């Protein structure tokens, strides 16, 4: 909660917890003072029940023990305990109140500035793959030029691409529902059984052919969106390493500048 946060960088900032580190002190004071000084046993049982049973649904799922969105059920009681700890400390310190408030606000402000710096400067790069950066640009690049091609194949080597295509392409919903691609498989030479809707196909090139054999099976009327990891080379810096019999139509990068996706077409005539 206070050091590393959720390992899924869609839910957390790398190197930071879900709370500022100074709030750990507030939570410790809150736990001690709440369960020793607070008079209402019903409220104590409510907070205890809330935390324990708020954790259980997440704990029984895979990787749920550090899954921030599944654990959000326990956020209210944690905030209550932190607030209680701060208020009680403030009321008990008396002569040191100003020092306590000033010190806490300074530490809180440092945590806030550190978070903002990480969020705006480092996070766009460190979380770029978690947020599927590059997919929007890749799909919209396909939309701009696909009138020149009879067939478009979108690789699934990274993850299922259906939702990204449907959303960023703004594919007509009536066509999408009429030819829903999930499970609508067709045998395509060099790819095996892959799903499709219209002239758009979803699946990676077969392992037997591999990306370096792709040029032997697609022509100049076929467009292939490849995941960068399929290539094993940075074609942004070294376009001369483009696999044989393929034309590198466009390279799409992450915010960091590293390659995310490549658009290829074949060289042979249809």
Give the pLDDT of residue 171: 94
The CA angle 121-127-132, to the nearest 5 degrees, is 125
| Residue 183 scores a pLDDT above 90 | no
**For the ranges 10-14, 37-41, 67-71, 152-156, the one whose mean pLDDT is highest:** 152-156
| Residue 68 scores a pLDDT above 80 | yes
Report the alpha-carbon distance of residue 22 to residue 29 in Å, rounded. 12
The CA angle 131-224-213, to the nearest 5 degrees, is 120
Mean pLDDT of the residues in the chain: 91
Give the pLDDT of residue 162: 94
Give the pLDDT of residue 174: 92
Nearest to 231 by CA among 258, 267, 192: 258
On whether both 142 and 206 belong to a single domain, the answer is yes
Nearest to 186 by CA among 194, 178, 176, 177: 194
Give the pLDDT of residue 1: 87
Say which residue the tokens 């100003």 belong to: 98
Report the alpha-carbon distance of residue 238 to residue 200 in Å, rounded. 29
On whether both 140 and 258 belong to a single domain, the answer is yes
80-to-6, 38, 54, 100, 216 alpha-carbon distances in Å: 22, 13, 15, 19, 64
Give the pLDDT of residue 159: 87
Give the pLDDT of residue 101: 92
| Residue 51 scores a pLDDT above 70 | yes
On whether both 139 and 229 belong to a single domain, the answer is yes
Domain residues for the domain of 77 are 22-126
Taking only the tens place, the pLDDT of each residue in 79-112 is: 999 999 999 999 888 888 899 999 999 999 999 9
The percent of residues in the chain predicted with pLDDT above 70, rounded, is 100
Outline where DSSP puts E strands in 123-230: 151-154, 185-188, 192-197, 200-202, 222-227
Retrieve residue 160's tokens.
């299922």
Give the pLDDT of residue 244: 85
On whether both 98 and 150 belong to a single domain, the answer is no
Domain total in the chain: 2
Nearest to 226 by CA among 179, 264, 268, 172: 264
Considering 99, 126, 153, which residue would you say is the last residue of a domain?
126
Compute the average pLDDT of residues 20-31. 94
On whether both 118 and 207 belong to a single domain, the answer is no
| Residue 60 scores a pLDDT above 70 | yes
| Residue 270 scores a pLDDT above 70 | no
Considering 93, 126, 159, which residue would you say is the last residue of a domain?
126
| Residue 64 scores a pLDDT above 90 | no
Confidence of residue 140 (pLDDT cuts 50, 70, 90): very high
Collapsing DSSP to helix, strand or coil, 248 comes out as strand
């Amino acid at each position: 909660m206070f050091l590393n946060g959720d390992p899924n960088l869609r839910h957390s900032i790398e190197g930071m917890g879900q709370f500022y580190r100074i709030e750990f002190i507030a939570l410790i004071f809150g736990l001690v003072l709440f369960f020793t000084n607070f008079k209402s046993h019903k409220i104590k049982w409510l907070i205890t029940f809330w935390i324990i049973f708020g954790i259980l649904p997440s704990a029984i799922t895979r990787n749920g023990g550090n899954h921030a969105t599944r654990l959000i059920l326990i956020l209210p009681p944690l905030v209550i305990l932190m607030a209680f700890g701060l208020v009680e400390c403030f009321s008990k310190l008396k002569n040191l109140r100003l020092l306590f408030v000033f010190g806490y606000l300074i530490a809180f402000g440092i945590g806030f500035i550190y978070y903002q710096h990480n969020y705006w400067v480092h996070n766009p790069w460190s979380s770029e793959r978690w947020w599927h950066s590059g997919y929007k640009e890749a799909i919209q690049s396909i939309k701009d030029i696909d009138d020149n091609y009879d067939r478009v194949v979108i690789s699934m080597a990274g993850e299922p691409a259906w939702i990204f295509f449907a959303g960023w392409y703004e594919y007509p919903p009536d066509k999408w529902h009429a030819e829903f691609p999930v499970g609508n498989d067709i045998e395509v030479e060099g790819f095996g059984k892959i799903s499709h809707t219209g002239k758009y196909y979803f699946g990676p090139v077969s392992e037997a052919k591999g990306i370096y054999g792709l040029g032997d099976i697609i022509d100049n009327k076929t467009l292939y969106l490849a995941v960068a990891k399929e290539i094993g080379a940075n074609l942004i810096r070294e376009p001369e390493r483009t696999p044989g019999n393929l034309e590198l139509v466009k390279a799409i990068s992450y915010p960091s500048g590293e390659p995310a996706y490549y658009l290829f077409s074949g060289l042979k005539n249809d």
